[in-house]
Chain A
Amino acid sequence: MKSSVITFPGSNCDRDMDVALKKFGFKNKMVWHADAELPKSDLVVLPGGFSYGDYLRCGSMASKSKIMQSVINFANSGGMVMGICNGFQILVETGLVPGVLLRNKYLEFICKNVFVKINDKKNKYFKNVNSEVLEFHIAHNEGNYFCTNDQLKEIEDNNQIAINYCDENGKIEDQFNPNGSIKNIAGIFNKEKNVLGMMPHPERMIDKSLSGEDGSLFFINLINNLK
């Protein structure tokens, strides 16, 4: 399986993603934002970080990078594209997934473990994950997902919600929502479910000695689904 991780100026989880993908068997290439062409890939990842310093609006400048046109074409032709954290923010700015990411409700950066419930398994990201609830890790300032009522209806009608913040038993309630996102949304798909944007960082959970191992579950499953 071949993967590509895009490095934008200010990306800072690109190496971590590279390490994780390789650990679980991907042949990964790092791709520079100013390149025009994507290498042949089974998966493209937009990593976390602060692309362009998040100075205008998180993800907005990166979404206009040269490489993004290739990424958009790749996604539109059914290619698997995953945006993590800042990568999710870039995805919403391209319009590949609906909605926006606002500043966290309590106006503070938040770095901690959270539980997420898998909402839909009929997709290549979560198919066969042997658990309904995963313990993931978040680290962000703008993860408060928001969309219009019409968009929300469409998202729900198409079953586009990927994961919701919950407690360890999978209960989705306000008190388990770390950033104020609508419906506790932690990640969503495009209609076709080949594009996934999510705030949590599975690449930080790939070793018992780190924050946990549910990221390993996620990646092992992902590569198997792509085979």
Chain B
Amino acid sequence: MIVNEQVAIDHGLKKDEYAKICELLKRTPNITELGIFSAMWNEHCSYKSSRLHLKKLPTKGKKVIQGPGENAGVIDIEDNDAIVFKIESHNHPSFIEPYQGAATGVGGIMRDVFTMGARPIANLNSIHFGSPQHKKTKNLLRGVVHGIGGYGNCMGVPTIAGQTSFDSSYNGNILVNAMTLGLVKKDKIFYSKAAGLNKPVIYVGSKTGRDGIHGASMASASFDEKIEEKKPTVQVGDPFTEKLLLEACLELMAGDSIIAIQDMGAAGLTSSSIEMASKGNLGIEINLNKVPCREAKMTPYEIMLSESQERMLIVLENGKEDHAKKIFDKWNLDFAVIGKTTKSKKIELYFDEEKVADIPVNTLVENSPMYDRKWKKAKLPKKNRIKKEDIKHLKIIDVLKKILANPNVCSKEWIWQQYDHTVMGDTIQKPGGDAGVVRVHGTDKAVAASVDSSAVYCWAHPLTGGKQVVCESFRNLISVGAKPIAITNCLNFGSPENEENMGEFVECVQGIGEASEYLKFPVVSGNVSFYNQTKEQGIKPTPAIGGVGLIKHYKNMITMDFKEVDNLVLVIGKTEGHIDQSLFARNILDEKNGPPPEVNLFNEKNNGETLLKLIDNKLIKSSHDVSLGGIITAVAKMCIKGNKGINIKKPKYLINEIEYLFAEDQGRYIIEINNKDFKKVADILNKNAVHFDELGKINENELYINDKTKVTIDELSTSNKSWLTNYMSK
């Protein structure tokens, strides 16, 4: 095939990008080379629109062993233990083929983690669907949940937490973000930097097929009516092979044979070989005839661009080939020496004894395009004033029941019961709480993880929204008694070529950066997913934040279920009555405008750290952060979980009852304490200048508000638990 500008454009490259390729090579690329450039230079692999802004994120900290730039981030959890973690998107493939898209998303992120030598110990996910009424939603949800379960369950890694939301902006582009945590010894971490000359380059895992060719390019474009034609670009997952690959890699990693290792993810053999060469400042020579292929007559172009799953590329020490081969043979996996490292600093590919590609590595990596896209700053919307006549007819209990049954608040048990969340025998906090918690196997330590996003807040004001998501993650970890350590982010946005979408990205990233800097909660890994849109309609900006924290002794973990009758319930943090963009405003008043709740980073940090002090002093029986639906929703969930009631008394504030109970002000937690500890708790809170309200006392099984209205917890529980099950069984 003759390469020209049109062929390059068909590969998703821009005219000037093609010109730059010809200039860098000082000639016209052949088709294989063009394929390689298009795979490396697309948005998904090159971060060309986002790099400039991502640089501003804080990525360092005392506990950070490895920040962004590797397969995943690594943090120190003491005693020579480290946690490797990352979140990644698989949005586009999941919309085209939900089961395989979601399954391979989970498979891909687990590979990123065990590539670094870590055994995966927990999976999480953040999934977002269109309106429940939209005709595709139900099938997409079912397919995605089956896919996540199908892969994670087979791997034997527990899925311990997640987040699911519904919003019409995802009607034409759902989001599937998968996160994995792995455990590794600090001195046994593996990296992707090749080193040394004439070292054997090894291919292991599944055979290469024609699936997923140009998957990364597909993920860098918007959807249109021809979306069905893109099915062949979706990869097909084989969790069984990945389980074998995991065990085989960990077995090989126990020795000292590996110099560098990299999984073949987006852009397959192309990006894995180039990344290893680039990081090691070396060249790599590959004989493509040696690559194990699933189908006959695959061309160099297809072999280089296939995104077949469950494959790894390894640079071995000389002389270790037989030892390594034995391990992969034992696990029935393909093993082939396909090339070697060279000093050429070029990627040189041979096929049928002919050189089919010859590209300097730096042209693909350092010289890849970087854009300073135009973006529009968002204005802070004006506050709405709630009119008395709009709310006076509302009955609080009815509103509460409605909110508990709202698709974005209701119990997601239907989903997480389909995920094995207890395999590995260390899950001490299951899905449905503020964060999932797993013990560090064989120790007293435990790791907490949660994943959060607040698209509505980000849409209303990206800067505030970006900050808020980080704070929410911080709060969720603190609620279970964990000290927050670091985050990973998955930045899901519309087209970077649209100034408003790009503005949302820039300002969300700025917000994330400010909050994570202030809270000393650095970003250690992440992923950007642009072009989440169908035709001109972009999704609401949805940065998802995966937070990880440490609990020094697992017995000090806190859960959110109310524990004991007569215990006192307090609200930590001040309630100002911010209703705009709350679930109450959007769904009960049908008011979609206004600013999101303000984020006060000082209060977030101070309130959170003070609560951790209370937990360390063993003064907290249960705790839960206040988020969607305000104080009353948080309290109702604690009642439902613990099967206990509460007598709520609104403090004598200037704001009215509705504002107090449904506002979504930030930086707040609900805590349960023993009566006799009240003075101690109040002293610590006062000493740290943390505002708190006494909310009420726990009772057997009813929720009272100011002694006037009441409802049984059974009734609330039914509202909360039935929506999703009913929806899926219709």
Contact = CB atoms under 8 A, between A and B. Distances in A.
A169 B425 CA distance: 26
A13 B422 contact: no
B425 A203 contact: yes
B24 interface: no
A104 to B, nearest CB: 10
A26 to B, nearest CB: 16
Interface residues of B, number: 32
Contacts of B423: 12-13, 16, 48, 139, 204
Given A16-B424, A19-B425, A211-B422, A52 B149 contact: no
Given A209-B554, A210-B427, A50 B240 contact: yes
Contacts of B111: none
Interface string A107-130: 011111000000000000000000
Nearest to B413: A112
B424 A15 contact: yes
B688 interface: no
A164 B166 CA distance: 39
Interface stretch (B153-161, B448-456, B470-478): B153-161
Contact of B156 (A12, A19, A211): A12
Contacts of B426: 210
Nearest to B155: A12
A137 interface: yes
Nearest to A51: B240
B617 interface: no
Contacts of B554: 209
B239 A53 contact: yes
B566 interface: no
Contacts of B239: 50, 53
Nearest to B429: A209
B422 A55 contact: no
B425 A204 contact: yes
A109 B238 contact: no
Interface string B407-451: 000000000111111111111100000000001000000000000
Interface residues on A, range: 20 to 34
B332 A49 contact: no
B159 to A, nearest CB: 9
B370 interface: no
A203 B422 CA distance: 10
A10 B153 contact: no
B428 A210 contact: yes
B331 interface: yes
Contacts of A95: none
B555 interface: yes
A139 B416 CA distance: 12
Nearest to B145: A108
A9 B331 contact: yes
Contact of A210 (B240, B241, B244, B425): B425
Contacts of B418: 108-111
Given A10-B240, A13-B156, A55-B240, A111 B428 contact: no
Contacts of A206: 425
A147 to B, nearest CB: 26
Interface in A189-208: 201, 203-204, 206-207
A49 B153 CA distance: 8
A12 B417 contact: no
Contacts of A110: 417-418
Interface string B236-262: 001111011000000000000000000
Contacts of B241: 53
Contact of B154 (A10, A137, A210, A211): A10
A15 B441 CA distance: 11
A203 to B, nearest CB: 7
Contacts of A48: 423
B156 A49 contact: yes
Contacts of B416: 111
Interface in A58-109: 108-109
Given A13-B423, A16-B425, A111-B418, A139 B153 contact: yes
Contacts of A108: 146, 417-418
A9 B240 CA distance: 8
Contacts of A112: 417
Contacts of A54: 154, 240
Given A10-B244, A204-B425, A53 B417 contact: no
A23 B38 CA distance: 55
Given A49-B156, A210-B425, A10 B243 contact: yes
Nearest to B418: A109
B421 A53 contact: no
Interface string A28-53: 00000000000000000000111011
A209 B555 contact: yes
Given A16-B424, A16-B425, A111-B419, A53 B154 contact: yes
Question: Which residue, of B241, B419, B423, B428, has the highest number of chain A Cβ atoms within 10 A?
Answer: B423
A53 B421 CA distance: 19
B632 to A, nearest CB: 28
A108 B421 CA distance: 15
Interface string B551-573: 00011010000000000000000
A-B pairs with lowest CB-CB distance, top 5:
A12-B156, A53-B240, A16-B425, A50-B154, A139-B420
Given A9-B243, A111-B420, 13 more contacts: A12-B155, A12-B156, A19-B425, A49-B156, A50-B156, A50-B239, A108-B146, A109-B420, A111-B422, A139-B153, A204-B422, A207-B425, A210-B425
14 contacts: A10-B240, A13-B156, A15-B425, A48-B423, A50-B153, A50-B239, A52-B240, A53-B238, A109-B420, A111-B417, A111-B421, A112-B417, A139-B422, A210-B427
